[in-house]
Chains A and B, each alone.
Chain A
Amino acid sequence: MQDRRSLVLVAPAFAWLTAFMVVPCLLILALAFFRRGLYGGIDYEFTFENFAMVLDPLYARIFLKSAWIAGLAALIAAVVGYAAAYAIASMPRHRQPALLFFAILPFWSNYLVRTYAWIVLLNREGLIVGIARALGFSGEMPQMLYTEGAVVLGLVYNYLPFVILAAYAPLSRLNPEISEASRDLGAGRWTTFRRVVLPITLPGVATGFVFVFVLSIGNFVTPALLGGGQFQMIGNLVYDQFLSANDWPFGSALSMVLIAVMLVLLTAQTFANERASTGRQSAEPVDG
């Protein structure tokens, strides 16, 4: 009875998500197996060609580059984010909520605006060049905007709050007595961190890493704005297939590969976290 009533409440949202998320996603899954028509339309003829094309060296290279940039951004964000979360967690308890709030706050401002801020800083007549000149530096400044580094920087900047949030949760739950026990048993500060604190708190930062990677690899705004016109990641490739090249089946195949990468990573990470938490449970009696 209860369940039938709840169905009435759940049904409208369920229907909306089915109509405007599940069905469209299934549609592009199907499109990925069709052939591109002569004039940019779609021939309803089954083929694996689109997926074979993903493996074409030209596109495979873009895939690898996207993975490299996303991986680099995720790694930097994970290290910096973990350090920041660790620093927040070592502040007095009553200060921590406010610090965490202000660390996450930028995440809620407009993504385009946050990216644009870096154009203002990095461009040829930008603030950084201006400051360098004002300090008396007259030589040729290196190109900063429209580089791979600018794209990585933009991604790290945009997603860092996310990692801080993910890394903070396990750090704040960490029982200080565990570290004390380790120190009492003669371990140094660094050994305690490496052998005790890090293994327990790693799942949080791993979650952060996976999310930054997933959000970065499909990103097209940051490469388009900070990487310059020629810079291409998978997101830009998908964008082109739909808005200029008019090859929807190939664009669909690309996004399906993107989804597959994402699912594999999220599943692996959930699995790893579950294993880590069962491992922790068996060690539970230690902190009584």
Chain B
Amino acid sequence: MADRLNMQVMLLILGLVFAFLYLPISVLVGLSFNAGGMPTAWTGFSLKWYGALFANRDILRAAGNTLIVGLVSAGIATILGTLLAIGIEIRRRKGRLLETLIFAPMVIPDIVLAIALLSFFSLLDVRLGLHTVILAHVVFNLAFVCAVVRARLKSFDWSIVEASADLGASMLTTLRRVVLPALAPAIIAGGLLAFTLSVDEFIIAFFTAGPERASITLPMQIYAMIRFGVTPEINVLATLVIGFSLVTLALSQRLNRGGLPGQ
């Protein structure tokens, strides 16, 4: 009896927490289909705000920029992060310095890394733009890819590497023909994760993209729009952004069961 009661209390807690987590986002998604566009009155289902969004050139350009930054930075990070993960795992001496170095991008406050990079680039007289955002995004992206690939390497059967070496394969051949194919799901999942992170990242992009309108990314565009208040267009944009993250995440999860940090 007491346990039944206990179970009901637990279910109540779960219900409340999940409502708290999901209601605000759901409201946003619902409103994006509201013909009138205002949050207080439902005036019928409509896709007209989606149409309006796709006619907005600023938003399309920002989306294009974000795609470039996401693809290039995730691409570089996937290569560097994977090599790093393999390098660390085959190393006999575990360096504390290296561990700290790859842990740091995940804990340094974004604002600190953002101003540090801004100072760094301006001191070197580097012109700011999408390329500087890419350089910056690789920093945290590679740490995440490395974490995902390392998680996979923990259960990796190293005897197949020895077998490959015994059969006369060089280190490069072993890496290319044995290690990388075995790791492929984790590598792709890590890359997708890095892509999502980069596409969503605002603070570092905001500081390292420079003042030109041509290098505005989607989160920067969203931030600027939010500061002007609630509009139907933001609801639509927000819905698309959420949908996009969920799809990439689902893909990443499917490819690499248990590969998400914390899973």
* Chain B residues, Cβ within 8 Å of A99: 14
Question: What is the interface size of chain B, counting residues whose CB is below 8 A from a CB of the partner?
Answer: 83
The segment out of B44-52, B53-61, B85-93, B181-189 that lies at the interface is B85-93
A130–B230 CA distance with the chains assembled, in angstroms = 15
* Chain B residues, Cβ within 8 Å of A123: 229-230
Q: B130 on the interface (CB 8 Å rule)? A: no
Q: B116 on the interface (CB 8 Å rule)? A: yes
Number of chain A interface residues as a range: 35 or more
Q: Which B216-253 residues sit within 8 Å CB-CB of chain A? A: 219, 222-223, 226-227, 229-230, 234-235, 238, 241-242, 245-246, 249, 253
Smallest distance from the beta carbon of B241 to chain A beta carbons, Å? 5
* Chain A residues, Cβ within 8 Å of B207: 242
Pair B118/A242 contact, Cβ less than 8 Å: yes
Pair A258/B83 contact, Cβ less than 8 Å: no
Contact A239-B111, Cβ < 8 Å, known A108-B196, A110-B219, A127-B40: yes
Identity of the chain A residue whose Cβ is nearest the Cβ of B9 in the assembled complex: A87
* Chain B residues, Cβ within 8 Å of A13: 80-81, 83-84, 87, 102, 142, 146
A13–B104 CA distance with the chains assembled, in angstroms = 13
User: Which B residues contact A (CB, under 8 angstroms)?
Assistant: 2, 6-7, 10-11, 13-14, 17-18, 20-22, 24-25, 27-28, 31, 38-41, 79-81, 83-84, 86-88, 90-93, 98, 101-102, 104-105, 107-113, 115-120, 123, 135-136, 138-139, 142, 146, 171, 196, 200, 202-203, 207, 219, 222-223, 226-227, 229-230, 234-235, 238, 241-242, 245-246, 249, 253, 260, 262-263
User: Which A residues contact B (CB, under 8 angstroms)?
Assistant: 2-3, 5-10, 12-14, 16-17, 20-25, 27-28, 31, 80, 83-84, 86-88, 90-91, 97, 99-106, 108-121, 123, 125-127, 129-130, 133, 157, 160-161, 164-165, 189, 214-215, 218-221, 224-225, 235, 238-239, 242, 248, 251-252, 255, 258-259, 262, 266
